[in-house]
Amino acid sequence: MKLIIGITGSTGVIYGIRMLETLKKLDVKTHLIMSEWAEKCISMETEYIPDYVKSLATSTSDEKNMASSVSSGTHRVDGMIIAPCSMKTLSAIANGYDETLIARAAGVTIKESRKLILMARETPLSAIHLENMLKLSRLGVVILPPVTEFYTKPKSIDDIVNHGVGKCLDQFNIEHDLYPRWGTL
């Protein structure tokens, strides 16, 4: 399996980092694209540096490289996850505004009928946000905000992050042990 992972400048870059760490352990090939603000948020929100995050991916592309392999539908991948996904990026995708490689790769994912997961990060949500999400959902895009669950009694931020990442991996039927399943507690 090969997935494109986009990390945008919305708060919650740890979701994208944990996604890459987990997929690397599971031997899933990844192509990483980080926005400029994602790179800035890494140092603001975590103890990591962008070079570490890039080292987790099988391959990477600069967000400005519109000639990257992932900008074409002929490049074979199984899908794409944007974690976290800013409302700016979500809006660009919903409106076909392919100004960045993340938005272009997401548009290609949609046009090629591949699975696209957006870990949308914003609150409260405006009517504009909701309309853009509805528009994408009607196209088959999975809007998967990292909503905390409490039935597993999370004891740490890691538990909460792992649950959000695990929910994304479930969309691709990727086996993991990031959180206990309902009925196994």
* 24-75 pLDDT per residue, tens: 999 999 999 999 999 999 999 999 999 999 999 999 999 999 999 999 999 9
Instruction: Classify domain 2-149 at the CATH topology level.
Output: Rossmann fold (3.40.50)
pLDDT of residue 78: 98
Cut 0.85: pTM above it: yes
The C-alpha atoms of residue 172 and residue 150 are separated, in whole angstroms, by: 23
What lies within 8 Å, CB to CB, of 140 at 6+ separation is 110, 113, 115, 116
Percent of the chain with pLDDT over 70: 99
Tokens encoding 185: 């507690």
Coil vs helix vs strand at 45: helix
Mean pLDDT taken over the chain: 96
Q: Edge-to-edge strands of the sheet including 2-7?
A: 59-62, 29-34, 2-7, 79-85, 115-120, 142-143
Q: DSSP code of 180?
A: P
User: Beta strands of the chain (E only): which ranges?
Assistant: 2-7, 29-34, 59-62, 79-85, 115-120, 142-143
Residue 67, classified by CB atoms within 10 Å of its CB into exposed (0-12), middle (13-18) or buried (19+), is: exposed
Q: How far apart, in whole angstroms, are the C-alpha atoms of residue 48 and residue 7?
A: 14
Query: Helix, strand or coil for residue 181?
Result: coil
Query: Do residues 114 and 79 lie in contact, with contact meaning Cβ atoms separated by under 8 Å?
Result: yes
Looking only at the bridges linking them, the beta strands covering 142-143 and 59-62 are unpaired
Predicted pLDDT at 185: 64
